[in-house]
Chain A
Amino acid sequence: MVLNSYQPGEFYDELFAADGKPRSIATTLIDKISSLSLAELQQHQNLAQSTLFKTGVTFNVYSDDRGTEKILPFDIIPRTICDREWQLLERGLKQRIHALNLFLSDIYGQQQIILDGIIPQEVVYSATGFLKPCMGIQPPQGIWCHITGTDLVRDKDGSWYVLEDNLRCPSGVSYVLEGRRVMKSTFPRLFEKMQILPVEDYPSRLLETLLYLAPDSIPYPTVVVLTPGIYNSAYFEHSFLARQMGVQLVESRDLTISDGFLKMRTTKGLQQVDVIYRRIDDEFIDPLTFRADSMLGVPGLMDVYRAGRVAIANAPGTGVADDKVVYAYMPAIVKYYLDEEQIIPNVPTYQCWEPKQRQYVLENLDKLVVKAAAESGGYGMLIGTKSTAEERSEFAAKITADPRNYIAQPTLCLSRVPTLLPDGIDGRHVDLRPYILNGRDIYINPGGLTRVALKEGSLVVNSSQGGGTKDTWVVR
């Protein structure tokens, strides 16, 4: 009923074709939503949100006012992707992870790609994620990026692009799993009628990925999840994943180095740890090697790691590959290592450190999106089409002062999905972050996190900027 007046408009809509008819994979879903009144939909939505709140699927934890954590706004109208299209995305993501891993091995090894002149040395060395102390390290099984969240977007014409990779400690997978659980209780019949690919095996796959890193000589390896603690905004997820895998959740104060091994303090004395799934940033891992002011890491951990006595996922140093300037070289990186074209292309990217491209950027600020190379979470960004002259001149000054730190991309018109709002249903822009595990083989959880910009017309989907999430249904 509420959907009768819905118009996809000039945008690519994930549920509706351009002529306003439902896409074939979404008809059952749309019939169901159309059969409900706005009040009923909102009731479902409130129930879903309160379930998430009750189970503590929260983010953005308090600092001093205790108990004020919030839940990420969750929209009960899912985003659908047809299976055939998903297979293409899967191939593209596998290709990308494969190339990124080869790139990381090379950068921290022989640096052949620099010697061959494909990527300038200064681009790599000036990336904040490049960690010199990781040079020469050979991580267990040769894997650097074990867990990746790659952000994909779809433009007006329906074509997919990779917006960025998150190779350090991507978060959000707990929303995928908990969101799916809530959706199953909200629309149980739809799951019977439609063939929706399951996402629930993610924790088992993650555990396998981590166990794969332990030395064969250890029959029952000890895996832990390392969290900065309960005040971290993603704490829920750290605890959730540890619980789902049945492994210990540790803080740095639980860990110590003893006899050259990493140990945790238990009620029965010290116990050896073999694999760490770390959810703290690279530079905080070991205050002796990186930031001396880090309270989150374990002094001496890097030595144990270098000696091959503990595995760390993701490997320290992976951040160099998700730098926004390095990103611009991805087509060349894929070509260089795999001799293939990118299956999912990059968004065309202008590099401000290169004078000609910088000039183009400065002349076209009103049409481009400018991003700071080392920022994430939607901070340090200029969306030219929605900016004021003042903001543009401010960014022009920043770019001129520190060109290495900026890239620019054409403004993509992100696809939209019908979204439940207080006064009805309207289209809102979305992106997609699938979660990729790289172990014995590469596994991609079907679907991923669909982030939605709840503000009308907004293109920024980050939770810190008023974004919400939707369940993602890969439909066969």
Chain B
Amino acid sequence: MLSRVANSIYWLNRYIERAENIARFVDVNLNLLLDSAVVDDQQWEPLVLTTGDLEIFRSRYGVATAENVVRFLTYDEKYHNSILSCLQSARENARSIREVISSEMWEQVNSFYFMVKEAAEADPQPELPSFFEAVKMASHQFAGVMAATMSHNEAWHFGRMGRSIERADKTTRILDVKYFIVLPGGVGSPLDELQWIALLRSVSAYEMYRKTCHRISPPDIAKFLIFDREFPRSIQHCLRSAEKSLHLISGNNHTNSWCNPAELKLGKLRSELDFLSIEEVIERGLHEFLDETQRRINIVSREIGDTFMTIDLEAIS
């Protein structure tokens, strides 16, 4: 398939997944604050910090009030990672590969985009919880339509790989949000437990977590969201799914070997997580671990781009 097409379907999926996850981590912050006794705008700046775009935010908005942060992350057309911008980019990518994806996928992206655009232009804008719910649902619909209407061919695997990589990255960030929430009652207080529940809910993990680990315990939650092989939003599950697609694309049947730099970096990251315990993570520091993982996921994505999406002409001829 065309390198340009691979690039477009990969990013189409990343942008849709990104929009969904922004909805999720703004939502978790809203929920955490709803349960919190102290209403304090200081809780919003960390959210922007986790996006890595604090500087852009400061130069445009200055103070991190709830309203500013939500506008920045949700409807800001000039911020390239807002939900609205993500949908615009997703749609542009989908438009350029309409002959590759199914019509149903295009229709879903198109109506998803118009839903967000209309919400942005509406006066008054819709209530945030229901809007975020609609964004999550539209993203699920896209993934479902893609799984059910497009051949699971090379292009499809590029798409799934994009979604998995993006989701792994964003799960690290959502987990990190909790790190920044200052707890008035301290770790282990009833309030703390409520906040962990809110976090699990925001990644749709609450019920699945309960089935697996029963009690709410911070190390178990971190373990679940990092290592669980069955839960589809855990970091390890995402990396495994990305790796599977990557190997199907390159035709390398052995997951314990590699034939290009992307497979090397991803395989290394995934197998290190295979042999890492939550105790070691906590000892090293959860935040530091999450930061490092994000950085390595970025490298994997760059290698995927270099391997498949740009062709070094000299190397071939």
Where the two chains meet, the residues of A that have a C-beta atom closer than 8 Å to any C-beta of B are 54-56, 66-67, 225, 229-230, 235-236, 239-240, 242-243, 248-251, 253-254, 256, 258-259, 264-267, 269-270
1/0 per position for B72-116, CB-CB distance to A under 8 A? Answer: 000000000000000010011001111110010011001101100
Cα-based distance from A269 to B260 in the complex (angstroms): 14
Main SS at interface, chain B: helix
Shortest Cβ-Cβ A-B pairs, 3 listed: A243-B99, A242-B99, A239-B98
B220 on interface, CB distance cutoff 8 Å: no
Shortest CB distance A181–B (Å):
11
Which of these, A230, A258, A267, contacts B6 with CB under 8 Å? A267
The answer to whether B1 and A230 have CB atoms under 8 Å apart is no
Across the interface, name the chain B residue whose C-beta is closest to A268: B1
- The residue in chain A whose Cβ has the minimal distance to the Cβ of B158 is A267
Per DSSP, are chain A's interface residues mostly helix, strand or loop, or mixed?
mixed
Distance, CA A259 to CA B316, complexed state (A): 11
Instruction: Give Cα A466–Cα B225 distance, bound, in whole angstroms.
Output: 57
Q: Is B154 an interface residue (CB 8 A)?
A: yes
Distance of B168 from chain A, by nearest CB (Å): 22
Please give the distance in Å from A66's CB to the nearest CB on chain B: 6
Identify which of A243, A253, A270 contacts B98 (C-beta below 8 A).
Answer: A243
Give the number of residues in B that approach A within 8 Å (Cβ atoms): 32
Q: Known A258-B317, A267-B154; judge A56-B2 contact (CB<8 A).
A: no
Contact A54 B107 (CB under 8 A): yes
Most buried by B among A66, A250, A251, A258: A66
Known contacts: A55-B107, A56-B98, A243-B99. The answer to whether A256 contacts B313 by CB under 8 A is yes
Most buried by A among B88, B95, B99, B316: B99
Q: Which of B97, B110, B249 contacts A54 (CB 8 A)?
A: B110
The answer to whether B88 touches A66, judged by C-beta atoms less than 8 angstroms apart, is yes
List of A residues within 8 angstroms of B58 by Cβ = none
In the bound complex, do residue A266 and residue B1 qualify as a contact, i.e. CB atoms below 8 Å apart?
Answer: yes
Partner of A67, one of B88, B97, B309, B311: B88
Pick from A54, A230, A243, A265: contact of B311, CB below 8 A: A265
Q: 20 more A-B contacts (CB under 8 A) besides A258-B313, A265-B4? A: A66-B92, A67-B91, A67-B113, A67-B114, A230-B95, A235-B95, A236-B98, A239-B99, A240-B99, A243-B98, A248-B99, A249-B97, A258-B316, A265-B311, A266-B2, A266-B3, A266-B311, A267-B6, A269-B311, A270-B317
Q: Is the CB of B3 within 8 A of A265?
A: yes
For the complex formed, measure the closest distance between the CB of B69 and the CB atoms of chain A, giving whole angstroms.
Answer: 24
**B100 contact set on A, CB distance < 8 A:** 249
Chain B nearest CB, measured from A363 CB (Å): 52
Q: Find chain A residues with CB under 8 A from B15 CB.
A: none
Selected from B107, B308, B313, the residue in CB contact (under 8 A) with A267 is B308
Contacts A54-B111, A55-B103, A67-B88 known; A269 to B96 CB distance under 8 Å?
A: no
Q: How far is the CB of B98 from chain A (nearest CB, A)?
A: 4
Which chain B residues in 1-59 approach chain A with CB under 8 Å? 1-6
Q: Mark B126-167, 1 if CB is under 8 A from A, else 0.
A: 000000000000000000000000000010001000000000
The reply to whether the CB of B229 lies closer than 8 angstroms to some CB of chain A is: no
A interface footprint on B305-316 (CB within 8 Å = 1, 0 otherwise): 000110101001
CA A225 to CA B5, docked complex, whole Å: 14
Whether B311 lies near A251 (C-beta < 8 A) is no
Residue contact B311 to A270, C-beta cutoff 8 Å: yes
- A270 CA / B316 CA spacing, docked (Å): 8
Q: Could you tell me if A250 and B2 are in contact, using CB atoms closer than 8 angstroms?
A: yes
Contact between A259 and B317, CB atoms less than 8 A apart: yes
A251–B4 Cα gap in the complex (Å)?
9
Can you list 15 A-B contacts with CB-CB less than 8 angstroms, sorted by A residue number? A54-B110, A56-B95, A56-B106, A66-B88, A67-B114, A230-B92, A248-B1, A249-B99, A253-B4, A258-B316, A264-B2, A265-B311, A267-B3, A267-B6, A267-B308
Question: Does B296 reach chain A (CB closer than 8 Å)?
Answer: no
User: Is the Cβ of A56 less than 8 Å from the Cβ of B317?
Assistant: no
**Closest Cβ–Cβ distance, residue A309 to chain B (whole Å):** 16
Which of A66, A236, A254, A259 is within 8 Å of B4, CB to CB? A254
Q: Is B117 an interface residue (CB 8 A)?
A: yes
Question: Which residues of chain A have C-beta atoms less than 8 A from B6's C-beta?
Answer: 267
Q: Which residue in chain B gives the minimum CB-CB distance to A258?
A: B317
Known: A230-B96, A267-B3, A267-B6. A67 touches B117 (CB 8 A): yes
Hey, which chain A residues are within 8 Å of B316, CB to CB? Answer: 258, 269-270
A64 CB, nearest partner CB in chain B, Å: 12
B41 → A minimal CB distance (Å): 32
Q: Which residues of B sit under 8 angstroms from A256, Cβ to Cβ?
A: 313
CB contacts (< 8 Å) of A242 on chain B: these are: 99
Residues of chain B in range 199-256 having any CB-CB distance to chain A below 8 Å = 249
Chain B 282-317: CB-based contact to A (< 8 A → 1; otherwise 0): 000000000000000000000000001101010011
Smallest Cβ distance from A230 to chain B, in angstroms? 5
Given contacts A67-B113, A267-B154, A269-B316, contact A248 B103 (CB under 8 A): no
**Which residue, B5, B92, B107, has most C-beta atoms of chain A within 10 A?**
B5
Say how far B122's CB is from chain A's closest CB, in angstroms: 16
- What's the least CB distance linking A274 to chain B, in Å? 16
A269 to B312, CA, bound (A): 9
Of all chain B residues, which has the CB nearest A250? B2
